[in-house]
Structure 1
Amino acid sequence: MDEGNGSAEKAGEIEKMSFEQALGALEEIVQQLERGEVPLDDAITLYERGEKLRAACQKRLDAAQARIEKIVTGADGKPSGTAPFDEPN
């Protein structure tokens, strides 16, 4: 593997994961690090990947929250539909 583009390939791999896959991979990393049986260099690499997975999960959660907050309410206060979260008010 070429070290020069390995990080970019892994970042692209993370972006292709579903939220559930990324969260599962993050949970595995946390378990490995908590056991403390990983050599220091490997632990640092795992931590870096875990941070990228955490950021990807947070990005998806933020996007989902923004979509939910854009629920359009009718005059009676009940939801009447949705609007894209990037659409101006």
Structure 2
Amino acid sequence: MGRVGRVQEEGVEKDRVEIDWDSLPYEKLVEKLDEVVQRLESGELPLEESLQAFETGMRIARAAERQLDRAERRVELLLQDGRTEPLPPRQGADDEDLPF
């Protein structure tokens, strides 16, 4: 789960929850990273908020990179083990269940 910390904002201390980015699916990380980039590119954030957004974006990007690295290792292991044959069709599967 996330950690809770204290952050000083405009002279007022507030609680800030740090998200465990590694627990989110890759697609959600990409979505969140896109939101951060849009906020930064808007040019409307004050300096401190820009720095915080950049820091958050870097954390998200690193978590996404770790997930991609794990996926790549899984593919490499499958190829090394010779498990390249297609999976058998699922019992009772129809076209509506397919992801594409």
Query: TM-score, normalized by length of structure 1?
Result: 0.71
**Residue 89 of structure 2 aligns with which residue?**
none
CA drift of 1:18 comes to 1.2
Equivalent pair of 1:11/1:52 in contact (CA under 8 Å) = no
Say whether residues 1:73 and 2:76 are aligned partners: no
Q: How big is each residue's C-alpha offset from its partner over 1:25-53, in whole Å with a ceiling of 9 and x where there is no partner?
A: 00110111111111110000000000000
What is the identity percentage for the equivalent residue pairs of Structure 1 and Structure 2? 26
Higher helix share: 1
CA distance in 2, matches of 1:22, 1:35: 20
Structure 2, unmatched stretches of 5+, are 8-14, 87-100
CA drift of 1:2 comes to 3.8
SS of residue matched to 1:3:
strand
Structure 1, unmatched stretches of 5+, are 82-89
CA drift of 1:11 comes to 4.2
CA distance in 2, matches of 1:31, 1:57: 18
Higher strand share: 2
Write out the 4+ residue segments of structure 1 that deviate beyond 4 Å after TM superposition. none
**Residue 86 of structure 1 aligns with which residue?**
none
Query: TM-score, normalized by length of structure 2?
Result: 0.64
Please tell me the residue identity of whatever aligns with 2:40.
Answer: L
**Residue 44 of structure 2 aligns with which residue?**
37
Structure (1 or 2) with the larger CA radius of gyration: 2
CA drift of 1:63 comes to 0.2
Equivalent pair of 1:29/1:50 in contact (CA under 8 Å) = yes
The total of aligned residue pairs comes to: 74
Aligned in 2, Cα 1:67/1:2: closer, same or farther, shift over 3 Å? closer
**Residue 6 of structure 2 aligns with which residue?**
3
